[in-house]
Amino acid sequence: MRRLFLILCLLLLVTALGSSASLAQSKLDASILSYDGKDFVRTETTLMNEGQSAVGTKLGHDTPAYKALVEKHSYIGPATVFGHSYQADYAPLVGADGKLTGALFVGVQK
């Protein structure tokens, strides 16, 4: 999982650097979330919540990202995470058996 997380962060950085100088100067964040059939829980993340790592926190059920992910769809668009505005990309992780197992998040603070 950590290897996937590092690759994800590197890909996001390359994308931001290639797309815009202003994005390259923005704060980039990424998370790996597990899914237990009800909640998406951050198991690895660069996000902070009140000065603490956001590992163990849940994605809100009322968010557009949650609604897309439970349908095994990606969500790309604005997101508010711990009071910060992001341009976000959430992608579902689906096992070989077709079951939803988690999600990936990458975001650039606005």
**Full residue range of the structural domain in which residue 69 is found:** 2-109
Own/partner pairs, 94-102, CB within 8 angstroms, 24+ separation: 100/35, 100/69, 100/70, 100/72, 101/34, 101/35, 102/32, 102/33, 102/34, 102/35, 102/40, 102/43
Give the pLDDT confidence score for residue 7 in this predicted structure: 57
The domain total for the chain is 1
Nearest to 100 by CA among 65, 60, 73, 62: 73
Give the pLDDT confidence score for residue 52 in this predicted structure: 92
Question: pLDDT 10s per residue in the chain (110 long)?
Answer: 555 655 555 555 555 544 554 545 567 899 999 999 999 999 999 999 999 999 999 999 999 999 999 999 999 999 999 989 999 999 999 999 999 999 999 999 98
Instruction: Give the 3-state secondary structure of residue 7.
Output: helix
User: Domain of 73: which CATH number?
Assistant: 3.30.450.20
Nearest to 36 by CA among 97, 103, 104: 103
